[in-house]
Structure 1
Amino acid sequence: METLGVWLRQTREAGGGTLKDAQAATHIRVRFLEMLEAGEFAALPGGEIQARGFLRIYARYLELSPDKVLARYDAETRSTKAVPPGAPTDAQLASPVAPQPQSIPASTSLPRRMRRETLLIVGGALIVLVVIVAGAWYLRNRSAGEEAVATSTATAPSAAVPSPPETPAAPAVTPTFAASSQGDVTLALEATEHVWACVTTDGTTVFEGLLAPGQVETWSGDEAVTVDTGNGAGLLVTVNGQQQGAMCGRGEVCIRAWGPSGEILAP
């Protein structure tokens, strides 16, 4: 039985489509489609979530069942976690005479206890990493806040007359997008998890790569700022100071664009 990548490639070729045709229809770049058809899922940016999102979109394009494609993906990725061929079996340890070498079936899985211990180790490492990143972010923002307070205190007059409290105005409906009075658009992306993104301003690619959790980047354009990502749930968008929320759902490949007057049709 052919591998998942070979199956995807043969299905595309049988339909007469090229990788460029698939890129235009799915917004998945050609080099990522080549990785899918080569079975190089671990090399995709964004890890397993990105791979599953790409496979779901590509399966729909090829008119295959996304559930069947993901089931094949799960089966192949599980097989890579099988017991290493060089590990001795219980029979080899108990018998003084070494038996003939035998290949371990790809479907053999790690013992439940070993899987549980591995998950605990990985989970602990992730928790430590999150604590370190959160602590660094907190200290950085705290230092910036203390510097701002110290500067404000040093420049304040010795006897400031407090201004009377203002009567709060009636709350107004916040628009989903604020048009820029300067005729341009400023877009900020905040990553809530590791996510791949490509940003284009006025037709020029200004960023392409992975964003780390908590990382915030800002770009400006005269006509349009376009964002292409493979996991829209991991990116929070702010346009001209107005929060737009997450780009799209978890694991979804999506592309959106904004101009000075609001969201526009992505190219």
Structure 2
Amino acid sequence: MSELGQLLKKARLEQGITLEQLQETTKIRKRYLEAIEEGDYKSLPGNFYVRAFIKSYAEAVGLDPSEVLSMYRNVFPDPNVGTVTESLSPKRTITKRSDKWSRFATGVMLASFFLLIVGLIYYFAYRNHDGVNQSVNGGSSAPLTDKVATQNPNGSPAGGTLEAKTVATPSPTPVQPELKLVKSEGNMDYYQLTNAATLSVEMTLTGTDCWFQIDKLTPNGNSFDHDMIEQGNLAKLGSPRKWESDQPVFMNIGLPKAIELKVNGVVLPLGEISNPKRLQIQAAGL
């Protein structure tokens, strides 16, 4: 057992916290917690996640995470220093391509809207012009008088029928989903999705590898039971991963700045955060 593992385990036992309770608090699997205490870092997903797990462990047992991470760095220096510059170039390329397509799509939408307006104006002008011609060609040549036309008991003019004309109306614009931050507690952010009954989560890697975990939440009294959907690493650049859920979801993202996250097509901004981020998302209709 390493000196760092002994320190963490001692703090946990002094707090009277079991590994199962610590797993529920940090959302880190029990076997990873045991590996940290034993100093078996090779059993963990990678050096970045070792630091993230140690930080979460230290916070949960009341230790200063900065001092604990300093002890870890003295034994295992960070091998990823100097790789940030290499990961920025693909991100800039993707951003430039996205801007180009965004401008093209905007131009197409504006042109389509203009053609739609012109078409509607022409349609209504043609109908009005055709109606005037029918009235002139089919009208009587008798002089105008001040007499009122005789009506039938049902209210319609004698000797004729009323013809109803239908006017085409534009279809209503579909209501788009909206994602709102409801509150933040500790390192957990709570979001609510309106105008949607189910959740569609899409995650795309834009930088270096990113560890993630996504759970389906089932209501249990005043809390939720976690049912893991998937846990692993995003390692293929630009290839989106998608999940559908009819229940609220919990997400634990190891490197938020390395991914783009969308919920029902709405981008959820994660910022340039290097520390793990935890999210809970719920649709308004759920």
TM range (shorter): 0.5 to 0.7
Structure 1 ranges of 4+ moved more than 4 A: 129-132
In 2, Cα distance between the equivalents of 1:221 and 1:248?
A: 27
Instruction: Give CA deviations for 1:19-67 in whole Å, capped at 9, x if unaligned.
Output: 111122222221221121121234322x322222221221122222222
Matched, 1:179 2:130: no
Of the three residues 213, 221, 231, the one matched with 1:208 is 231
The separation in 1 between residues aligned to 2:252 and 2:272, in whole angstroms, is 11
TM-score (ref. length: structure 1): 0.57
Contact preservation (8 Å) 1:28, 1:54:
yes
The structure where strand makes up a greater share of residues is 2
Structural mapping, 1:37-48, within 5 Å: 37-45=37-45, 47-48=46-47
Which amino acid counterpart does residue 4 of structure 2 have in structure 1?
Answer: L
Cα shift readout 1:69-125 (whole Å, capped 9, x = no counterpart): 1111011114x99xxxxxxxxxxxxxxxxxxxxxxxxxxxxxxxxxxxxx9xx96xx
1:43-82 matched pairs, under 5 angstroms: 43-45=43-45, 47-78=46-77
Q: Which position in structure 2 is the counterpart of 1:240? A: 264
Residue 34 of structure 1 corresponds to which residue in structure 2? 34
Counterpart in the other structure of 2:168: none
Q: CA deviation at 1:214?
A: 2.8
| Preserved contact between residue 54 and residue 230 of structure 1 (Cα < 8 Å) | no
How far apart in 2 are the matches of 1:34 and 1:24? 14
Q: CA deviation at 1:130?
A: 9.6
Uncovered stretches (5+) of structure 1, i.e. residues with no partner: 82-118, 146-161, 168-173
Q: Distance in 2 between matches of 1:64 and 1:250?
A: 20
Letter of the aligned partner of 2:43 in structure 1? A
* CA 1:67–1:200: 2 relative to 1, 3 Å: closer
In structure 1, distance between residues paired with 2:266 and 2:48: 28
Q: How far does the alpha carbon of each residue in 1:186-220 deviate from its partner, in whole angstroms, 9 at most, with x for none?
A: 11112233111122235543221111143311111
Q: Which has the larger radius of gyration?
A: 2
Deviation track 1:225-245 (CA, whole Å, cap 9, x = no partner) reads 322233333333211111111
* Number of equivalenced pairs: 193
Residue type of the alignment partner of 2:32: F
Task: Report the Cα distance in structure 2 between the residues aligned to 1:2 and 1:43, rounded to whole angstroms.
Answer: 14
Q: 2-side partners of 1:234 and 1:18: how far apart?
A: 33
Give percent identity, aligned residues only: 23
Distance 1:246 1:186 in 2: 17
Counterpart residue type for residue 275 of structure 2: G
Residues 69 and 63 of structure 1, relative CA distance in 2, 3 Å threshold: same
Kept in 2: contact 1:202–1:221 (CA 8 A): no
Distance 1:240 1:2 in 2: 45
What's the Cα RMSD here?
4.2
TM-score (norm 2): 0.54
**Closer, same or farther in 2 for the Cα pair 1:244/1:252, shift >3 Å?**
same
Q: By how many angstroms is 1:257 displaced? A: 2.3
Counterpart for residue 8 of structure 1: 8
Residue 211 of structure 2 is aligned to residue 196 of structure 1: yes
Residue-by-residue CA offset, 1:120-141 (whole Å, 9 max, x unaligned): xx96xx95x9999x99x9xxx9
Q: What does residue 25 of structure 2 align with?
A: 25
